Chain A
Amino acid sequence: MSRYLRYLTPLLLFLLLAGLLYRGLSLDPKIVPSPLIGKPMPAFTLPRLADAGATISDTDLKGKVSALNIWATWCVSCRAEHEVLLELARTGKVDIYGLNYKDNRADAQRWLTQLGDPYIANAFDADGRTGIDWGVYGAPETFIMDKDGIIRHKHIGPLTREALVQEILPLIARLEAAQ
């Protein structure tokens, strides 16, 4: 028995290492898990993008399943995901809010007029301070919150149709069904 073990050990070690390395292949170092998952969303009160005189705060997002999409007109991938956001909005399954991150107000307003507006409302985060509170490190990012305002999911990078169908919509359905 111990004789077999002696010959099997290198094989087992190899398999262990191969397993670890294989797992490493499918990990994207650009995707850093957010420590905010499972925590209440960070509080904020910001001027609205559409109307600098009005404000929007985290309490506006509570009481329903909501999404917060961090975007900017300087962000190329945001343009790529815009179609998908519009599609998500058309399903009517979730209220999408936007955090317009370190952007120019006029540019952002023009963007929504030209490309379509999937958002219920947009917060205008000119200096990116709210972005820091949300742990934003690269737009686009999308957070999904449950009815109590607890962050349940963070999608880093542009939303894709695949992510929408496989992750976001099933999650929203689960959160809707809860309680």
Chain B
Amino acid sequence: MRLRLITLLTVCLLLCSGTLQASVTLEAFTFTNVDEEQRFKDLIEELRCLVCQNQSLIDSDAELAHDLRAEVYGMMQAGDSDAQIVDFLVARYGDFVLYSPPVKPSTWLIWFGPFVLLLVAALLLFRSLRRQQQAPQQDISDADRQRLEQIMTDSNADEDHQP
């Protein structure tokens, strides 16, 4: 019981420290309401920092991330839509700035590849199942059948003996 409580507390602490860490690099941007702040956070969470490539703009403390956050904030204040802000960054830094790549011919393999593989696997499975069904049932020899019956009756007899 006590151990469980300690585990629970540890998990809570870990989770909290995670969120603290994520927000610690954010500059003191001022927002008129909570929705706007959430919109800003959602936006910079989906944008990659190109300096430290496995971090989003919300996580990164790189100089460029500071600049780009300010840029995104400025564009938001100027009334630009999310799409306009994303387009602005893609035009300069390429699709790599997006954590989820857009669907276009060069990314079809990423988006549809797994489904194509699934389909191929399903087809192969279907084919091999059908082949198994269509294969002639191999009958066992009379000698084997007799042995089988013998075994069955023996084991039935064993069961009968059990209490």
Q: Which residues of A contact B (CB under 8 A)?
A: 29-30, 32-36, 42, 102, 127-128, 132-135, 137-138
B92-A132 in contact (CB<8A): yes
Q: Which of A29, A127, A134, A138 contacts B92 (CB 8 A)?
A: A134
Q: Which of B51, B67, B92 contacts A35 (CB 8 A)?
A: B92
CA A127 – CA B63 in complex, angstroms?
A: 11
Q: Which residues of B contact A (CB under 8 A)?
A: 50-51, 53, 63-64, 67-68, 71, 90-96
A138-B94 in contact (CB<8A): no
Chain A at the B interface: mostly helix, strand, loop or mixed?
Answer: loop
- What's the nearest-Cβ distance from chain B to residue A76, in Å? 14
Q: Which of A30, A35, A42, A132 contacts B68 (CB 8 A)?
A: A132
B53-A30 in contact (CB<8A): yes
- What's the nearest-Cβ distance from chain A to residue B5, in Å? 44
CA A135 – CA B50 in complex, angstroms?
A: 10
> Given the complex, which residues of B lie within 8 Å of A132, measured CB to CB?
67-68, 71, 92
A-B CB pair tally, cutoff 8 Å = 37
Q: Known A102-B63, A132-B68; judge A137-B94 contact (CB<8 A).
A: no
A35-B53 in contact (CB<8A): no
- What's the nearest-Cβ distance from chain A to residue B49, in Å? 9
Q: Which of B64, B90, B91 contacts A137 (CB 8 A)?
A: B64
Nearest-neighbor residue (CB-CB) of A37 within chain B: B94
CA A100 – CA B72 in complex, angstroms?
A: 23
B94-A33 in contact (CB<8A): yes
B50-A137 in contact (CB<8A): yes
- What's the nearest-Cβ distance from chain B to residue A109, in Å? 22
CA A35 – CA B104 in complex, angstroms?
A: 15
> Given the complex, which residues of B lie within 8 Å of A135, measured CB to CB?
92-94
CA A102 – CA B106 in complex, angstroms?
A: 35
CA A137 – CA B92 in complex, angstroms?
A: 10
B91-A138 in contact (CB<8A): no
Pick 21 A–B contacts, CB within 8 A, sort by A.
A30-B53, A32-B93, A32-B94, A32-B96, A33-B96, A35-B90, A35-B93, A35-B94, A35-B95, A36-B92, A42-B92, A102-B63, A127-B67, A128-B67, A132-B92, A135-B93, A137-B50, A137-B64, A137-B93, A138-B51, A138-B64
CA A82 – CA B34 in complex, angstroms?
A: 48
CA A110 – CA B92 in complex, angstroms?
A: 31
Given contacts A35-B92, A42-B92, 4 further A-B pairs with CB under 8 A are: A30-B53, A35-B91, A35-B93, A137-B64
CA A135 – CA B89 in complex, angstroms?
A: 8
CA A127 – CA B95 in complex, angstroms?
A: 24
